[in-house]
């Protein structure tokens, strides 16, 4: 495969149909030549069940790579072999970095390890630059977490802020940005261009 691929961001609230739409888009564009990068670390039984449901939904020909941290490196490795690389999801990737890969909010203070936020942001930058130079079509699924109540903990507020910045950065570099609400995708970049004319 030659040339550069595209970058697509799919975002929305929890359980709104983002992943289902992302998988449909990946199938349309990549058929069987799709690599699915899963960032989830299933810590409990509920998460393990959710992961199992996601796996069952995917076509058997798709390749799955489970990577909670070094997503850009995986994208670089598979982006020349796959037509589409689907990353699900950015929200969990940011969470993995901010918590150091553990569920440790009760022990977290914003000054505990300032390098965690920096490492998370560096991974977002690396993801954007890698998506630009690989020929695969990269689809990134994320969450909108800034529309609800202000999180009551320092970690929650830091997470909301960093994920919001990450969504904005990826959207600015994406060819398409879809907002999914109640299972219905709305493409935002084309609407934005129409409004600016």
Reported as a single tens digit per residue, the pLDDT across 107-161 is 445 445 678 889 999 999 999 999 999 999 999 999 999 888 899 988 889 999 9
Task: Please write the tens of the pLDDT for every residue from 164-191.
Answer: 999 999 999 999 999 999 999 999 998 8
Burial degree of 51 (CB within 10 A; 0-12, 13-18, 19+): middle
54 is catalytic: yes
Active-site choice (6, 54, 81, 173)? 54
Q: What is the pLDDT of residue 97?
A: 92
Pairing of strands 184-187, 176-181: antiparallel
Please indicate whether residue 19 or residue 57 has the higher confidence score (pLDDT). Answer: 19
Q: Which pLDDT score, from 0 to 100, does residue 111 have?
A: 45
Q: Domains in the chain and their CATH numbers?
A: 20-182 (3.40.50.300)
């Amino acid at each position: 495969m030659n040339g550069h691929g595209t970058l697509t961001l799919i975002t929305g609230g929890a359980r709104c149909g983002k992943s289902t739409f992302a998988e449909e888009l990946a199938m349309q564009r990549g058929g069987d030549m799709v690599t699915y990068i899963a960032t989830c670390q299933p810590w409990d039984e509920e998460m393990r069940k959710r992961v199992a449901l996601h796996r069952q939904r995917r076509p058997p020909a798709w390749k799955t790579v489970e990577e909670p941290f070094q997503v850009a490196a995986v994208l670089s490795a598979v982006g020349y072999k796959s037509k589409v690389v689907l990353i699900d999801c950015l929200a969990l990737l940011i969470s993995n970095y901010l918590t150091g890969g553990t569920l440790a909010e009760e022990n977290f203070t914003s000054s505990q390890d300032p390098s965690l936020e920096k490492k998370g942001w560096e991974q977002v930058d690396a993801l954007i630059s890698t998506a630009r130079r690989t020929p695969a079509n990269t689809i990134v699924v994320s969450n909108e977490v800034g529309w609800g109540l202000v999180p009551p903990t320092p970690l929650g507020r830091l997470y909301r802020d960093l994920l919001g910045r990450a969504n904005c950065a990826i959207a600015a570099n994406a060819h398409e940005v879809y907002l999914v609400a109640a299972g219905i995708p709305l493409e935002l970049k084309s609407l934005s261009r129409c409004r600016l004319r």
